[in-house]
Structure 1
Amino acid sequence: MGKFQLEIWGEMCPIPLIKAQRKLKTMKSGDILVMETEHSCTSQGIVVWAKNNRYQIEETEVANGIWHLELTKTHD
């Protein structure tokens, strides 16, 4: 299992989701994609997409207005 950081700071949807989808294509099942954003709509959009596509995702508000996302690739 690997852990990969994706820079999405300051970006609005759909750009972060497109970046995440592209990165996931290069990852193996069990790998984790880590992202942080200051936009609640970006966080919510990624969480909804991940759940709808059967990915495991953990969302944590680590500070007021800062969300930490850990998306686990659960299938190829």
Structure 2
Amino acid sequence: MPTIVVDVMPKAELLDPQGKAVAGALARLGIDHFGGVRIGKRFELTVDGEVTDEVLATARQVADDILSNSVIEDVVSVEVVE
């Protein structure tokens, strides 16, 4: 069955306390390869049947309306993985 993956991230202009905490932990461990960390959400929608343009459009609408909070988050990708 095909799967549609939706990635949601905090808006770039907002603070990401979880990301800051992970960045601090990496620094304490001596890992200095990364300039920052942002933490988001990943949703996997399993599709019954074929992924048509209509199904993909519905997934995008669900991502915007239900899976993300448009005030503080952006839907950064909606893509089909097999």
TM > 0.5 fold call? no
Higher Rg = 2
Q: Which has the higher contact order (CA 8 A, sep 6+)?
A: 2
Question: TM-score with structure 1 length normalisation?
Answer: 0.31
